[in-house]
Structure 1
Amino acid sequence: MDEFLRILTQTLAELIAPTTAAYAIAAIGLNLHFGYTGLLNMGQAGFMLLGAYGFGIATIAGAPFFVALLVAVAAGTLFALILGIPTLQLRGDYLAIVTISAAEIIRWVGRSTWLQEWTGGASGLQGRDFKTTFHALSPLPEGRTAIGPLEYINTGSDSWWTRIFAWGVVALILLFVWLITRSPWGRVLKGIREDEDAVRALGKNVYSYKMQALILGGVIGAIGGVVYALPLAIAPDAMGRTMTFFTWTVLLLGGAATVFGPVLGSMIFFAAYMLMRTGMRSLTANTGLGEFITTTNVEQIGGMLVGITLMLLVIFRPQGILGNKKELAFNVR
């Protein structure tokens, strides 16, 4: 019984974890790209990594928290411009190849020795070097606080303050996306997703709208990278292809082209992922399965199950939990 309660507590903790919020933010940005505009971006991790690096490097250089956050936003904007200007004429799988390649370039540049003085190379940037300005903003008193079965320090990396800030950012971005997607601008994006030639025939500059969507979604992804780094560190290999893969799973699970879908998808995905991993570890430790399944195997099996889940979603419910199949299907050209 105690083991069962421990597993449930860890699963509950994952629901409100800063990492869950960071993936929700990244998926919201990806939703602007794919769900509303039909841009098949497979490199959202690149925006997240650039945002984290921009924030971390600016903070280490002495910038206040909000100035460093603006640097992260500028990094996401610049990357979107550099990526979008030559590639937004591409469609479907061609754009996917370009975006995933661009994200890999960012990761390899980050881990190279060329810019190691700024990026920390393969080791990345340690959290203690860039978190002090964020911790200084905390209005919470020193000490620890327990809410139900969950107990954390009030201020620090793994703290209530980090969780409050992360989910506060999610709420603000959700409000922003809800407002812009209900506007005429948002309706044009949906039109581009369905038939960009028809939108072009109405006199709209499709290229300009795509660029705006790419920049906005990229900036939101960069902010997601900052939130992801706040409780951890900035490591290029931790923000690579797997991160983009998880972000897509979160988006498709919750429902593309929906406002709250990415948040619901992130919470369900990471809670289920934690439940599966802790449950499997408990089974291997307390039964004879430990002879066949090691801790490493648990992680590998978890990754395989995530892949299977994504395949099943695409095949049987491409619209996700909250999505509308009539509005969105995998027909991006």
Structure 2
Amino acid sequence: MDYLVSLLTSLSAEAIAPTTAAFAIAAIGLNIHFGLTGLVNMGQAAFLLLGAYGYAIAVIHGVPVGLAIVIALLTAIVFAVVLGIPTLRLRGDYLAIVTISGAEIIRMVGRSSLLTTVTGGSNGLTGSSYRDSFNALSFLPEGSTRILWFDFTNNGVNGWWIRIVGWGLVALLSLMLFALTRSPWGRVLKAIREDEDAVRSLGKNVYSYKMQALVLGGVIGALAGIVYVLPSSVQPDAMGRSMTFFIWTALILGGAATVFGPVLGSVLFFVVRLAIRTLASDVIPSSIMNTQQAEQFSYVLVGVALMLLIVFRPQGLLGNKKELTFSV
């Protein structure tokens, strides 16, 4: 009984972790790309990495937090425009190949030894070099606070302050997405997803709308990158292809083209993965499966579950099959 209580406590703590919030934000941005507009963006991690680098480097050089966030978002906008100008006329697999290539370019540039003095190279940037100015904005007193069974420090690396900011952004962006899906702009995006030739025949500038969607989703991705690195550090290799695939997993799991699908999918992704990893480590003898293998095993089972979900419920847990007629 004690073991079950301990496991449920760990799983619920993982559900509200800052990393989970960051993935939910990133999935909301990807939802604008794919769920609303039908853009198969396989490089969402690049926006997270640019947001993380833009914020961290600016703060390290003495820029105030607010201005550092603006710099991070402007960096994502510039990248979205540069990426979108030659690629948004592509569809389907071709767009996916180009976007994943763009993300890899950003990652390789970030870890380049030529930029070690700026980006930290392959070692990245330590969180202690840029985190203090964010924690200084906290209105919470020093010490720790217990709410229900959650007990975290108020302003620590993994405390209540970063949780409040992260999940507050999730709530605001979910409301924004709710409003956008019901706005004329959002309806045009959905029409582009269904049949962009028909939208173009009505006199709409499809290219412009796609660019707007790419920029908006990229800016949200940059916000996710900032939240992701605040309790940790900026590591370029941690924001590579795998991260993009995990964000896609969260989006598809919850349901693309839905408001709360990205949030639910992110929570379930991390909770289920932790549950599998914990149970595998505790139940299976270390002679058969060590901790590292249990981590890999959790990804395997999550992947199998995703495959089954796509086969038997392709619209995700909250999705609607009517939203799946993508012409990409």
Alignment-derived partner of residue 257 in structure 2: 257
Alignment-derived partner of residue 280 in structure 1: 280
Unpaired segments of 5 or more residues in structure 2? Answer: none
Alignment-derived partner of residue 177 in structure 1: 177
Alignment-derived partner of residue 289 in structure 2: 293
CA offsets 1:32-75 (integer angstroms, 9 cap, x no match): 00000000000100110000000000100111111111111111
Q: Name the CA distance, whole Å, in 2 between partners of 1:310 and 1:42.
A: 17
State the SS of the aligned residue for 1:152. Answer: strand
State the SS of the aligned residue for 1:157. Answer: coil
Unpaired segments of 5 or more residues in structure 1? Answer: none
Aligned mate of 1:303, from 275, 285, 299? 299
Alignment-derived partner of residue 212 in structure 1: 212
Q: Name the CA distance, whole Å, in 1 between partners of 2:327 and 2:317.
A: 20
Q: CA deviation at 1:2?
A: 2.4
Q: Which amino acid aligns with 2:170?
A: V
Q: Which amino acid aligns with 1:306?
A: V
Q: Which amino acid aligns with 2:299?
A: G
Q: TM-score, normalised by structure 2?
A: 0.98
Alignment-derived partner of residue 85 in structure 1: 85
Q: Which amino acid aligns with 1:146?
A: R
Q: Which amino acid aligns with 1:317?
A: R
Q: Which amino acid aligns with 1:27?
A: A
Q: CA deviation at 1:3?
A: 2.3
State the SS of the aligned residue for 1:115. Answer: helix
Q: Name the CA distance, whole Å, in 2 between partners of 1:63 and 1:50.
A: 17
Q: Name the CA distance, whole Å, in 1 between partners of 2:220 and 2:251.
A: 14
Q: Which amino acid aligns with 1:90?
A: L
How is 1:86-165 mapped onto 2 (pairs within 5 angstroms)? 86-165=86-165
CA offsets 1:248-290 (integer angstroms, 9 cap, x no match): 0100011100111101111111111111111111113xxxx32
How is 1:30-109 mapped onto 2 (pairs within 5 angstroms)? 30-109=30-109
Figure out how many residues of one structure are paired with residues of the other and give that number: 328
Alignment-derived partner of residue 269 in structure 1: 269
Q: Name the CA distance, whole Å, in 1 between partners of 2:139 and 2:147.
A: 18
Q: Name the CA distance, whole Å, in 1 between partners of 2:35 and 2:140.
A: 38
CA offsets 1:214-269 (integer angstroms, 9 cap, x no match): 00000000100000011111100111111111100100011100111101111111
Q: Name the CA distance, whole Å, in 2 between partners of 1:253 and 1:225.
A: 21
Identity of aligned residues (%): 61
Conserved 8 A contact 2:272-2:302: no
